[in-house]
Amino acid sequence: HEADAYRTDLMTITRFVLNEQSKYPESRGDFSILLSHIVLGCKFVCTAVNKAGLAKLIGLAGETNVQGEEQKKLDVLSNEVFVKALVSSGRTCILVSEEDEEATFVEHSKRGRYCVVFDPLDGSSNIDCGVSIGTIFGIYMVKDDHDPTLDDVLQPGKHMLAAGYCMYGSSCTLVLSTGEGVNGFTLDPSLGEFILTHPDIKIPKKGKIYSVNEGNAKNWDAPTAKYVEKCKFPKDGSSPKSLRYIGSMVADVHRTLLYGGIFLYPADKKSPNGKLRVLYEVFPMSFLMEQAGGQAFTGKQRALELIPEKIHERSPIFLGSYDDVEEIKALYAAEV
């Protein structure tokens, strides 16, 4: 469904969201303004990522973040760009970023009603080798107009108003849901606009690909080990699944959304809560998967039902095609 370069009816992401938001008479355009600032951040990171190799932006920034990870220059730069863009939108009151230990409470004069949780640069281990990386974000409405507190972001994922990611790959693709399905937009550099290229994305009901870091197999629990074994040595005579693992959640999830299949980041003996962070990795991707007709499971419950207690809390996650996730849910249910 390639956008015709000379089509005159250009559906930009801004126009698309304005159309969607016009269904809410009470909305005063605030969400559209917030989104336009997120889009600005994505455009900036896209150019920075494309120039990183030339601008010597790659390599370690020398500091480590709350996750104890070496912060690469692009991690730091992207975080600053998104924090500044979101604060300047005048529509946010709390920001949670993977790169900041504490939440950012926006000063009164610039405060709005939205809380944004985000991973400014996802897949940073892939920066130096030019493999696709991305940005992930989720948006909550503040619970009520009292002084915002952490409770406004420690909400279950099902309360998110919107979620999305931008993938900086061979093209710059922004995938977004505001709760009415999933749509994909591709940056047209000649216009500097994200154009609708993947309307109404639906994930295939079942897939032929599984996506997991097989290097952790030694530490998996029984249900995950059994499921992966089934993928490789199916008992019902069907052909084995293919393994595709990029190591950037955004890229692995984007492929899963378009091609079908399942993405797993299980718990293991080393990390009982898995590795991925609930607020700005698990929730936004789970939200998108459900909106596209797939599902997302933590090993214990529907991922979007989880209520985080800490802003950098982690959770195991199994997400993707509806039927594939059903199979792993059955294996965990049998364990109980």
Closer CB to Mn ion, 20 or 119, in the complex: 119
**Minimum separation from the CB atom of position 120 to ligand AHG (A):** 8
The answer to whether 45 and 168 have CB atoms below 8 angstroms apart is yes
> Which residues, 52 to 71, sit near Mn ion by CB under 5 A?
69
DSSP 52-112: HTTTT--SEEEEE-TT-PEEEHHHHHHHHHHHHHHHHTT-EEEEEETT-SSPEEPPGGGEE
Binder of residue 12, out of ligand AHG, Mn ion, none (CB less than 5 to 8 A by kind): none
- Confirm or reject binding of residue 249 to ligand AHG (CB under 6 A): yes
The contact mask relative to Mn ion for 122-151 (x = CB under 5 A, - = no) is x-----------------------------
Q: Which of 20, 98, 152, 324 binds Mn ion (CB under 5 A)?
A: 98
Q: Which residues contact 203 (CB under 8 A, 6 or more apart)?
A: 256, 257, 258, 260, 289, 292, 293, 294, 320, 321, 322
Beta carbon of residue 218, minimum distance to ligand AHG (angstroms, whole number): 13
Partner touching 213 among Mn ion, ligand AHG, none, CB below 5 to 8 Å by kind:
ligand AHG
Q: Which residues contact 44 (CB under 8 A, 6 or more apart)?
A: 81, 85
Minimum CB–partner distance for residue 245 and ligand AHG (Å): 7
CA distance 165 to 307: 22
Rg of the chain (C-alpha set): 19
* Residue selected from 34, 116, 122, 176 as contacting ligand AHG according to rule CB under 6 A: 122
Q: Is 119 in the site for Mn ion (CB under 5 A)?
A: yes
Of 122 and 152, the one with the shorter C-beta distance to Mn ion is: 122
Residue 290 binds to Mn ion (criterion: CB under 5 A): no
Torsions phi, psi for 250 (to 5 deg): -55, -45
- Tokens of residue 106, six digits: 């926006």
- Using the rule CB under 6 A, which residue among 34, 42, 52, 98 binds ligand AHG? 98
Q: Does 193 sit near ligand AHG (CB under 6 A)?
A: no
Q: Are 315 and 273 a contacting pair, CB within 8 Å?
A: yes
Q: Nearest 5°: CA angle at 121, between 94 and 70? A: 105
**Does 284 sit near ligand AHG (CB under 6 A)?**
no
Q: Which two tokens stand for residue 61?
A: 């920034």
Can you give the binding site for ligand AHG, defined by CB under 6 A?
69, 98, 119, 122-125, 213, 247-249, 275
